[in-house]
Structure 1
Amino acid sequence: MAHTLYVVGIGPGNPEYVVPRGLHLIKQAKVLVGSERALEDFAQPGQATFPIAKLAPMAEWMGEQLESNDIVVLVSGDTGYYSLLPYLKTKFPNNPIDVTPGISSMTFAFARLGEVWHNADLMSFHGRRPEEKDLYYAEGRKLGFLTDPEQNPAYIARYLIEEHGWPKDTKAAACERLSYEDERIERGTLEELQKLEGFGHSVMVVLG
């Protein structure tokens, strides 16, 4: 019988926000795969670990491990929201995959801001760009973005104002390192966020 891939969403990163089943799977794992930060936070003594960096070497190592062990893969945020899950399903089609979801950084950011997200349009500037047609301005429209170092909140704020007609006084917020002691949340207008430095790997919320 083929060994199982357990994919566990670790939410924003702080172990306090991981569901109990996920923590149990992580603690019982013989083989653990995750980012360097995730392995620092969750790995137990005696576990075989592999840091996620380049996908090809990781997949090769995982293939070898799956011959004799189950593997627990830690993914940041939620397993169903821009995670490693689609890649794993394609790479290991003959192995059962058991998924334990987590809290996405997007929904966590909305919670930190005291805002609901059921009426928000969620998109990503992390290594990609949303469709131009999806960035239109409408009064009361709510947006959530994942960002990257090049397309950070300052860039997005300027892009929305200059290219899509968003008012400069539109309220917005940038959130990074969510759930950690050095968590940072900057609130302001789109005009003010144009001057914000950093926040490369963050969540940006726009409240039109």
Structure 2
Amino acid sequence: MEHKIIVVGIGPGSPDYILPVASRIIADAKVIAGSKRALATFAPDHVITKVIDNDLKGVLTFIATSLMDNDVVVMVSGDPGFYSFLATLKTKFSSAQITVIPGISSMQLAFARITEIWQDAVLISMHGRQAKDIDLNYDPEKKLGILTDFEQNPLYIANVLLEHGWPLHSKVWLCANLSYENEKIKHLTLGEIKEVDGFTHCVMVVTI
């Protein structure tokens, strides 16, 4: 029988937000790859583990070698279909070799926390990547959900949005450490972001 890569979404981080099916698959795994934090939180004892780090070639080689003897569970934050390691896996392995178990993304949880519908939102990652002008351009009916990072942080993004026509009074929610005990959510306007500290790697929701 050909072994599989099982890509498991572990949710935003807290064990409270991982799906039962994902927990069962991780508990039964013999080989698991994931971030240091994910492995420390979810990986059972006495399993073979591999940290997913900047050496992506090494991680892919480890997975390919491990597939000779076992299924390989790959834990990814949030949902595998939303800016995760799944995209990298699909550059080397076929869809037939991969099974995906969905999870709750930080984006999904952010919209839930602020009781906002996200079916009509433009979802953008500015975490290590550039956004398209068409996504950033102002429209009075537009709603944005943005993943930020330390360089493209809320202040940087606020200035970019102002340059793309968004008014200063646009509503903003900054959502950091979602699902953890130190979760922080702040509601303000686009013009007030310059006064805020402590939000870098977060989910930023912008509406009119």
Give TM-score scaled by structure 2 length: 0.94
Following superposition of structure 1 onto structure 2, how do residues 77-92 of structure 1 map, counting pairs within 5 Å? 77-92=78-93
RMSD of aligned alpha carbons: 1.4
Superposed, 1:59-78 pairs within 5 Å as: 59-78=60-79
Residue 111 of structure 2: SS of its match in structure 1? helix
Residue aligned with 2:90, SS: helix
SS in 2 for 1:81: coil
Moved more, 108-117 or 185-194: 185-194
**SS class of match (1:206):** strand
Secondary structure of 2:118's match?
A: coil
What is the distance in 1 between the residues matched to 2:16 and 2:88? 27
Distance 1:150 1:83 in 2: 19
Q: Which residue of 2 aligns with 1:179?
A: 179
Quick check: 1:171–1:187 contact (8 Å CA) kept in 2?
yes
Query: In structure 2, what is the Cα distance between the partners aligned to 1:56 and 1:133?
Result: 33
Question: Match for 2:104: what amino acid?
Answer: I
1:67 CA drift (Å): 1.1
The 2-side partners of 1:65 and 1:111 are apart by: 38
Is the contact between residue 109 and residue 178 of structure 1 (CA under 8 Å) also seen in structure 2?
Answer: yes
What aligned pairs does 1:1-208 form with structure 2 within 5 A after superposition? Answer: 1-53=1-53, 54-93=55-94, 96-161=97-162, 163-208=163-208
| Deviations 1:4-62 (CA, angstroms, capped at 9, x unpaired) | 11100011111111111111000110111111111111011111111110211111222
Contact 1:2 1:95 in 2 (8 A): no
- Cα distance, 1:198–1:56 mapped onto 2, change above 3 Å: farther
Deviations 1:92-123, CA, capped at 9 Å, x for gaps: 23862111000111111000111110111111
Under a length normalisation based on structure 1, what TM-score does the superposition of the two structures give?
Answer: 0.94
Question: 1:140 offset after TM fit, Å?
Answer: 4.0
Pairwise CA distance, 1:90: 2.2
User: Number of residue pairs matched?
Assistant: 207
Partners of 1:9 and 1:22 within 8 A in 2:
yes
Unpaired runs of 5+ residues, structure 1, are none
SS of aligned partner of 1:194:
helix
Whole-Å Cα distance in 1 between the matches of residues 161 and 90 of structure 2?
35
Please say if residues 155 and 194 of structure 1, whose CA atoms lie closer than 8 Å, have aligned partners that are also in contact.
Answer: no
Asked if the contact 1:2–1:94 (Cα under 8 Å) also holds between the matched residues in 2, the reply is no
Q: State, as a whole percentage, how many aligned pairs show the same letter.
A: 50
> What's the CA shift for 1:91?
1.5
**C-alpha contact (below 8 Å) 1:158/1:194 kept by paired residues:** no
Once the two structures are TM-superposed, the CA of residue 149 in structure 1 deviates from its matched residue by 0.8
